Amino acid sequence: MNRILIFLFFTFLCLQIKAQDIHWSQFNDNQLFQNPGNTGHFDGDYRFIGNYRDQWRSVTVPFSTISGSVDAKWKSLGYGLLFFHDVAGDGKFRTLETQFNVSNLFQITSDSMNLLRLGVNFGLNHRQITWSNLYFDNQYNGYVFDPSAPTFENYQNDKKTNFSIGLGAVYEWRKNDRFSVISGFSAFNLNQPNQGFYTSEIKRDVRYNVFSKGIFKINREWDIIPSTQISFQGVYREQILGASAKYYLNPKATEYCALYGGLWFRNKDAAYISLGIDYKQLFVGLSYDINVSKLVPASNLRGGFEIAIRYIIHAFKPKKIIHRVCPDFI
């Protein structure tokens, strides 16, 4: 009986909560999903980011999400593509979305210490469910549960595709590479597209995102990087607060390498740790959620595993020219 109750709970979870947008623990390492104003905000020419999340494996069929993005910049213009694929529950409820982002950089002051980036997001969202994988109360005859019994359910549709639009703004105060503050606000699904599988209209709620991140030098080898993010979407609320410490392995060497370690808390849901490494233009980050919500009796504190990979390409390398000085007597 407990297994049936857990299954019904996660069926409800799939059909209701997953109507909202996906979320990430390593939100600072999925910049285009966080805010379209982040597009093109990096030191280099091309940036590639990959993210993978696996959660609730200890409770039911795991929910898995994979995301990838690439962005570049030309003068003050940033542009990029992002996609993600999410699968949840026994019904294999799939969400596939592709987003195109454009941003533009504005210098507020001539010393380049105050910068503003405005961005726009265009998304194409496809959702699909496999009804034949789900079980219903008609298959319970009062004594036993018979999964082979007919469900007598009339499915009107099993897929839906729609278009969305979003806007974002990012402000940065920057003294140098190791002393800056970045804050941003974004709003997605502004047109509230219909995501219902039936004839009745079910609008996709607007997702609002507010974030702030600082980088502060402690000494030659250590930085502290605190950050927070708050998301609102319909009745859904998510607040994340935490910080990472950054340790430079060889601050004077030509080959840049640094380690990260962080502790984070997501309100009423989970606490999680994060680890990461920078080596030249490559970053790899890992995190693990420790569930502290009301689901603890079923999860045994186990939540989700996440990995983030970022690689930046410097396509243009200026040629080093050595100028010879002519002697004075010529």
8 Å CB contact between 229 and 208: no
pLDDT tens digits for range 173-213: 999 989 999 999 999 999 999 888 777 788 999 999 999 99
b/e per residue 121-146 (b: at least 16 CB within 10 A): bebebebbbeeeebbeeebeeeeeee
Q: Where are the alpha helices (DSSP H) in the chain?
A: 2-16, 31-34, 296-299
pLDDT in tens, 100-149: 999 999 999 988 899 999 999 999 999 888 766 676 777 677 777 777 77
Q: Please list the residues that pair with 67 across neighbouring strands.
A: 51, 84
Q: Output the pLDDT for position 157.
A: 66
pLDDT (0 to 100) of residue 173: 96
Neighbours of 28 (CB within 10 A): 23
Residue-level pLDDT at 159: 83
Q: How much is the average pLDDT of 65-83? A: 96
Query: Do 209 and 229 touch, CB atoms closer than 8 A?
Result: yes
Of 42-56, 77-91, 245-259, 312-326, minimum mean pLDDT range: 312-326
Name the DSSP class of 156: -
Mean pLDDT, the chain, as a whole number?
A: 84
Name the pLDDT band for 5 (thresholds 50, 70, 90): very low
What value does the mean pLDDT take over residues 237-256? 89
- By the 8 A CB rule, do 117 and 78 touch? yes
Residue among 320, 279, 316 at smallest CA distance from 73? 316
In this prediction, residue 34 carries a pLDDT of 96
pLDDT band (50, 70, 90) for residue 93:
confident
- Is the pLDDT at 231 greater than 80, yes or no? yes
* Span 58-84, average pLDDT: 88
Kindly indicate the confidence band of residue 325, based on its pLDDT and cuts at 50, 70 and 90.
Answer: low
Q: How far apart, in whole angstroms, are the C-alpha atoms of residue 21 and residue 58?
A: 23
Distance CA 31, CA 305 (A): 19
Q: 3-state DSSP call for residue 20?
A: coil
**Residue 296 confidence (pLDDT):** 56
- CB-count exposure of residue 209 (10 Å: 0-12, 13-18, 19+): buried
Q: Give the SS3 label for residue 276.
A: strand
Residue 217 has pLDDT above 90, yes or no: yes
Q: What is the pLDDT of residue 128?
A: 87
What pLDDT is attached to residue 299?
Answer: 55
- The band of 63, judged by pLDDT with boundaries at 50, 70 and 90, is confident
pLDDT the model gives residue 19: 52
Q: Specify whether the CB–CB gap between 30 and 308 falls below 8 A.
A: yes
Nearest-angstrom CA–CA distance, 35 and 69? 13
What six digits make up the tokens of 140?
A: 């319970």
For residue 131, the SS3 value is helix
Which amino acid does the sequence have at 41? H
CA distance 46 to 11: 41
Tokens in use for 226? Answer: 């605190």
Any bridge partners for residue 71, and if so which?
A: 47, 80
pLDDT in tens, 137-159: 776 777 777 777 776 666 656 78
**Residue 10's pLDDT band (cuts 50, 70, 90):** very low
Alpha carbons 280 and 150: distance in angstroms, whole number = 59
User: And the tokens for 121?
Assistant: 């997001």
Judge whether 79 and 101 are in contact, CB under 8 Å.
yes
Round to whole Å and give the CA distance between 131 and 135. Answer: 9
What pLDDT is stored for residue 291 in this prediction?
78
Q: Specify the length of the chain in residues.
A: 330
The pLDDT of 276-304, averaged and rounded, is 79
Cα separation, 101 vs 98, whole angstroms: 10
Q: What is this structure's pTM?
A: 0.82
For the ranges 35-44, 123-132, 307-316, the lowest mean pLDDT is seen at: 123-132
Distance CA 179, CA 173 (A): 9
